[in-house]
Structure 1
């Protein structure tokens, strides 16, 4: 994981943020041990905060991995709330089931094995919160298919809005400033396309928050 904030600031944000429970700490240890690129506790706490502010009853994730972000989200849902986890790796989805069960959130979760872009077509809205965290070159397409399912007051969050392993930040910055650099890889181009699509949508107000690897937060205003 490539941190946007300095190590000291990251430590500070973590120190003053909400505490993780035992299961979340185990999930963090799993990510470190396996080299899994999860969002981390700072972003996880922010996602839960967003879900609380949106008074979320239903949440959809484009890409759930082993359930780390879903676990944070689920704590903000009412007992009859719903979060849809999507994942193409069956082993990761099984692990997500186990962690959600251990946290007491299993009854709020629906687990979908397969392509999130196909899964969303089977669900009607509304979803008060949507997380986009799958293949970067498909971010803009995900926004397009889900935007109509997000009500006024709802939020779309996209991870890796600033950096990640394959994202070239200098080229991303040039694209954001209207330049057209050469040899932009599909991951960087995908994030740039997403940000252009989200910020250009008059129904949403979008900002980028420099936590974790950067998260774009789009609030539906109309």
Structure 2
């Protein structure tokens, strides 16, 4: 990203509250990546714009992203999912009883956990393995009401090969999911490409990619 744009996005990003500052300190100390305040501001805004009362996260870590959703909500529920029981325990410690929101902590595979909820969800966050974004969307798509939003994190940077991703998405060939030729890329890049190809071709979804953080794809269900 252009350095001037990076500085501008950082300058207008919202500030942490005391709880989030402690969470960020933990993430930095442990080398645990977070969405950061740029993407956090997007999550808070989307929760507020949708009047969210039911949020589901595919991948929650120690609860940092959930804290941003909560700051944009007036009550309601956020379902956090995490494989690492120690991280989930930290999320409980940081969040339980905070923000006036009901936090539900699900240990294990988010793909299994989402099946235990009927929805409808107002906002869904995809922040687990990029190779599983498209299957996750398939699991949750019908649990979104019209106006519901799906946010996919890390779609332009991080483990993604951005140059290869652009080539894959610029092609005029058949959709990525039906291609026969192999792609010499890591599974995260191919997974993100498949996900972006899926949401841009779905007539029931409108999607934009925002340059906040490591890139977020925001899709709203319109049909």
The answer, yes or no, to whether TM exceeds 0.5 is: yes
Structure with more relative contact order (C-alpha pairs < 8 Å, separation 6 or more): 1
2:134 to 140, 146, 158: 140
The residue aligned with 1:116 is: 110
Contact 2:122–2:147 (CA under 8 A) maintained in structure 1: yes
Contact 1:93–1:113 (CA under 8 A) maintained in structure 2: yes
Structure 1 pair 115/40, CA: closer, same or farther in 2 (3 Å)? same
Contact 1:74–1:108 (CA under 8 A) maintained in structure 2: no
CA distance in 2, matches of 1:107, 1:57: 9
CA distance in 1, matches of 2:2, 2:206: 24
Report the CA distance between 1:181 and its aligned residue: 7.6
1:36-185 equivalent positions in 2, closer than 5 A? 36-79=32-75, 81-101=76-96, 104-105=98-99, 107-164=101-158, 166-178=159-171, 182-185=183-186
CA distance in 2, matches of 1:34, 1:11: 25
Report the CA distance between 1:18 and its aligned residue: 2.5
The residue aligned with 2:220 is: 219
CA deviation string 1:190-214 (max 9, x = no partner): 0000001111111110111011000
Report the CA distance between 1:135 and its aligned residue: 0.8
CA distance in 2, matches of 1:25, 1:68: 10
| SS of match in other structure, 1:153 | strand
Report the CA distance between 1:32 and its aligned residue: 1.7
Which ranges in structure 2 are unaligned for 5 or more consecutive residues? 174-180
Report the CA distance between 1:106 and its aligned residue: 7.2
Which ranges in structure 1 are unaligned for 5 or more consecutive residues? none
Report the CA distance between 1:182 and its aligned residue: 4.0
The residue aligned with 2:194 is: 193
Contact 1:152–1:220 (CA under 8 A) maintained in structure 2: yes
CA distance in 1, matches of 2:152, 2:170: 20
Contact 2:56–2:79 (CA under 8 A) maintained in structure 1: yes
The residue aligned with 1:207 is: 208
Structure 1 pair 99/11, CA: closer, same or farther in 2 (3 Å)? farther
Contact 1:97–1:106 (CA under 8 A) maintained in structure 2: no
Q: Give TM-score scaled by structure 1 length.
A: 0.91
The residue aligned with 1:23 is: 19
Alpha-carbon RMSD across the aligned residues, in angstroms, is 1.7
CA distance in 2, matches of 1:72, 1:176: 30
Contact 1:171–1:181 (CA under 8 A) maintained in structure 2: no
Q: Give TM-score scaled by structure 2 length.
A: 0.91
| SS of match in other structure, 1:212 | coil
